[in-house]
Amino acid sequence: MSIDYPHQAQLINFLQKDLGISWDSITVALRQQEKSLGSLPMILWQLGLISLSQLDSTFTWLEFN
């Protein structure tokens, strides 16, 4: 699975290192993102792969990065 742009790579790094999201969960969400064109954090949350608290942390990270 390729990462489309540097910011998404940074986001994935944050998800893995800071929030402890597995690569398998991220891969599932990336596949869904290709189909739906939704945002990766929202897809992770919709699929139940991150909590609401983790979603909030991700949006805070996105706001400042």
Residue 1, pLDDT above cutoff 50: no
Domain residue spans in the chain?
A: 6-64
Q: What gap in Å lies between CA 18 and CA 45, rounded to an integer?
A: 16
Record the tokens describing residue 35, joined without a space. 């189909």
Asked if the model's pLDDT at residue 40 lies above 70, the reply is yes
Q: Model confidence over 12-35: pLDDT tens digits? A: 999 999 999 999 999 999 999 888
Q: So what's the pLDDT on residue 5?
A: 59
**Please, which pLDDT band fits residue 38 given cuts at 50, 70 and 90?**
confident
